[in-house]
Protein backbone atom coordinates (compact mmCIF):
# COMPACT_ATOMS: atom_id res chain seq x y z
CA UNK A 1 0.00 0.00 0.00
CA UNK A 2 1.38 3.39 -0.92
CA UNK A 3 1.34 6.53 1.21
CA UNK A 4 -1.48 8.09 -0.83
CA UNK A 5 -3.78 5.16 -0.08
CA UNK A 6 -2.78 5.20 3.59
CA UNK A 7 -3.58 8.92 3.78
CA UNK A 8 -6.99 8.38 2.14
CA UNK A 9 -7.84 5.65 4.64
CA UNK A 10 -6.59 7.82 7.51
CA UNK A 11 -8.83 10.65 6.30
CA UNK A 12 -11.80 8.31 6.65
CA UNK A 13 -10.80 7.39 10.20
CA UNK A 14 -10.30 11.03 11.18
CA UNK A 15 -13.70 11.97 9.70
CA UNK A 16 -15.38 9.20 11.70
CA UNK A 17 -13.62 9.93 14.99
CA UNK A 18 -14.10 13.69 14.82
CA UNK A 19 -17.57 13.41 13.23
CA UNK A 20 -16.63 15.82 10.44
CA UNK A 21 -17.24 14.62 6.86
CA UNK A 22 -15.30 17.61 5.49
CA UNK A 23 -12.14 16.99 7.55
CA UNK A 24 -9.02 16.44 5.47
CA UNK A 25 -5.63 15.77 7.02
CA UNK A 26 -2.21 16.29 5.51
CA UNK A 27 1.16 14.93 6.53
CA UNK A 28 1.73 18.13 8.51
CA UNK A 29 -1.55 17.92 10.47
CA UNK A 30 -1.09 17.85 14.26
CA UNK A 31 -3.47 17.76 17.21
CA UNK A 32 -3.25 21.56 17.38
CA UNK A 33 -4.91 21.74 13.95
CA UNK A 34 -8.10 19.87 14.97
CA UNK A 35 -10.16 21.54 17.67
CA UNK A 36 -11.58 18.36 19.25
CA UNK A 37 -8.30 16.41 19.22
CA UNK A 38 -7.64 16.05 22.93
CA UNK A 39 -6.08 13.22 24.93
CA UNK A 40 -9.28 11.15 25.04
CA UNK A 41 -9.88 11.53 21.31
CA UNK A 42 -6.24 10.66 20.70
CA UNK A 43 -6.79 7.29 22.38
CA UNK A 44 -9.95 6.74 20.32
CA UNK A 45 -8.12 7.79 17.15
CA UNK A 46 -5.16 5.46 17.73
CA UNK A 47 -7.52 2.54 18.40
CA UNK A 48 -9.51 3.26 15.24
CA UNK A 49 -6.33 3.53 13.15
CA UNK A 50 -5.07 0.25 14.58
CA UNK A 51 -8.38 -1.40 13.66
CA UNK A 52 -8.41 0.12 10.16
CA UNK A 53 -4.92 -1.14 9.37
CA UNK A 54 -5.05 -4.37 11.45
CA UNK A 55 -1.95 -3.40 13.41
CA UNK A 56 -0.87 -2.22 16.83
CA UNK A 57 1.33 0.79 17.48
CA UNK A 58 4.08 0.49 20.07
CA UNK A 59 3.78 2.85 23.04
CA UNK A 60 6.96 4.71 22.02
CA UNK A 61 5.50 5.23 18.53
CA UNK A 62 2.29 6.69 19.91
CA UNK A 63 4.07 9.00 22.31
CA UNK A 64 6.59 10.05 19.68
CA UNK A 65 4.22 10.89 16.82
CA UNK A 66 4.36 14.59 16.01
CA UNK A 67 2.03 14.66 13.01
CA UNK A 68 -0.04 12.59 10.60
CA UNK A 69 2.99 12.13 8.35
CA UNK A 70 4.71 10.13 11.08
CA UNK A 71 1.61 7.93 11.38
CA UNK A 72 1.73 7.35 7.63
CA UNK A 73 5.43 6.48 7.80
CA UNK A 74 4.90 3.92 10.57
CA UNK A 75 1.99 2.28 8.75
CA UNK A 76 3.94 2.27 5.48
CA UNK A 77 7.02 0.73 7.09
CA UNK A 78 4.92 -2.14 8.37
CA UNK A 79 3.77 -2.89 4.83
CA UNK A 80 0.07 -2.61 5.53
CATH of residue 31: 1.10.1200.10
Question: What pLDDT does 57 receive?
Answer: 95
Domain extent, residue 62, equals 3-77
The more confidently predicted of residues 79 and 16 is 16
pLDDT, tens digit, for every residue of 48-77? 999 999 999 999 999 889 999 999 999 999
Question: What local confidence, expressed as pLDDT, does residue 80 receive?
Answer: 52
In angstroms, the CA 74 to CA 1 distance is 12
Question: What is the dihedral sign for C-alpha 13, 42, 75, 26?
Answer: positive
Enter the pTM of the model.
Answer: 0.92
How many structural domains does the chain have?
1
Q: What is the mean pLDDT of residues 10-19?
A: 97
pLDDT of the residue at 66: 93
Amino acid sequence: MDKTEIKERLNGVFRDIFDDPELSVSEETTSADIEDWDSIEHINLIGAIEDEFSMRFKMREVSGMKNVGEMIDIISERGQ
